[in-house]
Amino acid sequence: MRIRSSLLVKVRRFAAGIDVSREAVRLVVLSQRLRMGEQMRVEHLAAVPLAAGAMAGVEIVDRAAVTRAMREVFADLPRACASHTLRCAMALPGSATLMSSLPLSRFGAAGELAVAGGGTLATLESAVLGEAERLAGIERHALAVDWFIDGAPRRAASVTIATAGRQHLEARIECAAAAGVTLTAIDGEPHAALRALRHAAMLELEPHETYAAIWIGADGVYGWRIADEAVTSEMHYPAPEHTDLADALRDLTDGGAPGCALLGGELELLDGVGFSVADLGDVLGCTVLPFECLSLGDCVRPLSAELLREPTCAVAFGLALRGVME
Task: Give the tens place of pLDDT for each residue, 81-118.
Answer: 776 778 999 999 888 888 888 888 777 766 665 555 54
Write phi, then psi, for 226 (nearest 5 degrees).
-115, 120
Q: What percent of the chain has pLDDT over 70?
A: 88
- Per-residue model confidence (pLDDT) at position 3: 39
Task: Give the tens place of pLDDT for each residue, 289-321.
Answer: 999 998 787 776 778 889 899 999 999 999 999
Domain match, 68 and 178 both? yes
Task: Give the tens place of pLDDT for each residue, 47-73.
Answer: 999 988 999 888 899 999 999 999 999
Domain match, 240 and 320 both? no
Domain match, 225 and 310 both? no
- Per-residue model confidence (pLDDT) at position 141: 87
d(CA 277, CA 213): 13
Q: Are 19 and 45 in contact (CB under 8 A)?
A: no
Nearest alpha carbon to residue 162 among 246, 260, 96, 72: 96
pLDDT score of 151 more than 80: no
Assign residue 311 a region: left if phi > 0, alpha if psi is -120 to 50, beta otherwise? alpha
Domain that holds residue 119: 97-167
Peptide bond into 290 cis (omega under 30): no
Domain match, 212 and 229 both? yes
Domain match, 91 and 176 both? yes
Domain match, 59 and 176 both? yes
d(CA 280, CA 270): 10
Task: Give the tens place of pLDDT for each residue, 33-42.
Answer: 876 556 788 9
User: What is the count of structural domains for the chain?
Assistant: 3
- Looking up residue 134, the CATH number of its domain turns out to be 3.30.1490
Mean pLDDT, to the nearest integer, of 124-149?
84
- DSSP characters for 186-243? EEEHHHHHHHHHHHHHHHHS-TT--EEEEEEETTEEEEEEEETTEEEEEEEES-TT-S
Reported as type and span, the H/E element at residue 33 is: strand 24-33
